[in-house]
Structure 1
Amino acid sequence: MEAANYPLFFIHISKTAGSSFRVAAERYFGKEHVFYDYGPKANETNPDIRTLDYEKRDRYAAGMKIVEKAKFLTGHINHPKYAPFIPAKNAITFVRDPIQQVRSHYEHFTRHHRYKRSFTEFVNEPRFKNVQYKAFQGTWPDAIGFIGLTERYNESLALINKMYSIDIQGLDINKNTEKKSSSYELSDEEIALIKKHNKEDFKLYEYALTRFERQKLAIESDTPFIRFGKTNMAASDEGKMIKGWAADYNSQSPVVIDVRVGKKKIAEIPASEYRSTANERNIHRNGFVGFSFTYPKKLKNGEQIDFFAKSSGELLLSDSIGR
């Protein structure tokens, strides 16, 4: 894989092995090249960020200072905050089984933040709901450079090192030493409550499991990893057309998409349309990664239409005609 330009941007989601990764990154890059942003009151927050962003409220100046000096940026911050300064391909995060993440988050708050309420009250508080999903804040998940899995931390770290041509070593810190097993045991009622209040986190985690295998295959075989997804369109257009995006971060050429019905190819389209979200989130090609396709009238209702990446033959999206 092609090495990334610095800085790397690690989105540290609470209780997903982020502390181990950030400390290991500091040892690799050196303290002077690692910038932290954990808010204006945190001792870890870089002085330049505290002064320029939080005191002078000049995020542009803070961002330019990061680009100038940092090789690694991290904090409990969402992706859009620094997206204008750092390409999405350089963004890294870890996600975790929401059941374990929520319980671990609660235990952390009781130990380190003097949280006195019950676990049920914790789960019901809005600020603790879908915290993993909130870290993306409108960025298409597939645009993030690498999404690791806490449960497969060492494997994730090896893939990160290969993808970005770095050599961060594994560490194991900030764990609950009072926990007797590797995972928390919760009652059926507690699990049901977590599922009720963290639906977006569960969707994200299921997506990340599939995405991990796709990206692992691409990294290990040194083949293109095509990122893709649907984009917003009018409800009245559903079943009549599709709008989406696709990008290959290792190429400045648009991804070419083969459109097929069954085994028959009916069109070939480039993902080269402008998408404002892609531009705002610094995803690729200044936002020119979109595609749209209106379904031919000769196709019958219920017929399936498939969209493949021409370069790899990978099935990206499927839809069905429904006028």
Structure 2
Amino acid sequence: MNPLLFVHVPKTAGTSFRFGASAYFGDGSICLDYGPESMETSDVVKKWMGEIPDPWSFFQEMKYENRKMLSGHFNAIRYVPVFGLENTVTILRDPIQRVVSEYKHFSRHNRYKGAFRSFYSKPSFTNRQLKIFRGLSWPALGFVGLTERYDESLQLLNKKFGLEIPYLAENLGREKLEEKYDIPQDELEELRILNAGEITLYKKAVSQFEWRVLLSRRGERFVAGSIFSQSNKRIRGCAIPEQNNEAVVLRVKVDGAYKGEVLANEYRADLRANGAGRGGFVGFSIDISGFAMGATLECEVAETGQPLVNSPWVIRGED
């Protein structure tokens, strides 16, 4: 098994996952990168990922030392090109609840004395989950779990990678992960505006998680896929199969009417560079020249009915 990359989004139960992984893999099996000033950061990370980062040399030494996972607070693009999208996992949390939890953490452990509104208004604390995955297609990650459904997430992750990481509860500000903080309505509205992009991401992640659960129960394969963009009268995206290397067949509907199927076997250099499955031959494109502006295009896995992220897509006029 290749080493896993765990992108530890702050206040998402990541510490619980890291401790569980360490208990399963063994002491010294996990590399840590929590910043150059952190005492937790591993020496091998400081050696290779300092002022002039050399991710490849770091990855080779990590494998030589038989390390099983890297965990830390970092932007995913820092390590994904060497670990690969398929081996990258993370846990996401309701954006508003995550901000409150982070504020309470800063107040308890970092001696933050400011008001909550002052904290969540700072650009560095808005859309944090969105920023951590900037430059990557997050739907193509190997696994995306949810804090609110941590136990279920852990079971699904273990099943996918053939692991037995135990459930541990560490560094929790509340007794139960699913408990919600009460927030005054005026602050709640401000938080929704400030974190609108991240809220959209989270809703899409929840939808895909639901499909992962359903398909797991059916014994069917999950597909990591998304519509990316529209240009030059074509809609483009990717569909990455998890359980085998067969190209995914996608069913296309426009305004609810079946329009045919497309095979996701086109080469995507950016996905290949970040270690996507099938050597990057997971892309697709759909000719939309015959469809009216404002029409709604749906793209789903033909085998299971699983919709891709960003489906349905409203066809817009050319820029």
**Structural mapping, 1:7-18, within 5 Å:** 7-18=3-14
The match for 1:311 is 303
> TM-score w.r.t. structure 2 length?
0.88
Maintained 8 Å contact 2:140/2:276: yes
The match for 1:278 is 271
**Cα distance, 1:320 vs structure 2:** 5.8
Superposition CA RMSD, Å: 2.5
1:115 aligns to 2:112 (yes or no): yes
**Cα distance, 1:287 vs structure 2:** 2.1
Please, which of 179, 182, 186 is the counterpart of residue 182 of structure 1?
Answer: 179
> What is the letter of the counterpart of residue 227 of structure 2?
K
Separation of aligned partners in 2, 1:40 and 1:225: 37
Maintained 8 Å contact 1:52/1:58: yes
> What is the letter of the counterpart of residue 141 of structure 2?
I
**Structural mapping, 1:80-229, within 5 Å:** 80-176=77-173, 182-229=179-226
The match for 2:48 is 52
**Cα distance, 1:305 vs structure 2:** 4.6
Separation of aligned partners in 2, 1:318 and 1:125: 33
Maintained 8 Å contact 1:64/1:85: no
**Cα distance, 1:31 vs structure 2:** 2.1
The match for 1:244 is 237
Q: Deviations over 1:162-216 (max 9, x none)?
A: 121111111112123699x933221111111211211122112111211111111
Maintained 8 Å contact 1:24/1:168: yes
Maintained 8 Å contact 2:55/2:82: no
Partner of 2:173, secondary structure, is coil
Partner of 1:153, secondary structure, is helix
Runs of 4+ off more than 6 Å: none
Aligned pair count? 313
> What is the letter of the counterpart of residue 9 of structure 2?
I
Maintained 8 Å contact 1:242/1:294: yes
- Cα 1:292–1:36 shift into 2, 3 Å: same
Identity %: 35
Q: Deviations over 1:259-302 (max 9, x none)?
A: 455787654432122223312322222322111121364x5666
- Cα 1:31–1:124 shift into 2, 3 Å: same
Separation of aligned partners in 2, 1:39 and 1:304: 44
> TM-score w.r.t. structure 1 length?
0.87
1:64 aligns to 2:57 (yes or no): no
Maintained 8 Å contact 2:236/2:286: yes
**Structural mapping, 1:262-277, within 5 Å:** 266-277=259-270
> What is the letter of the counterpart of residue 269 of structure 1?
V
- Cα 1:124–1:60 shift into 2, 3 Å: same
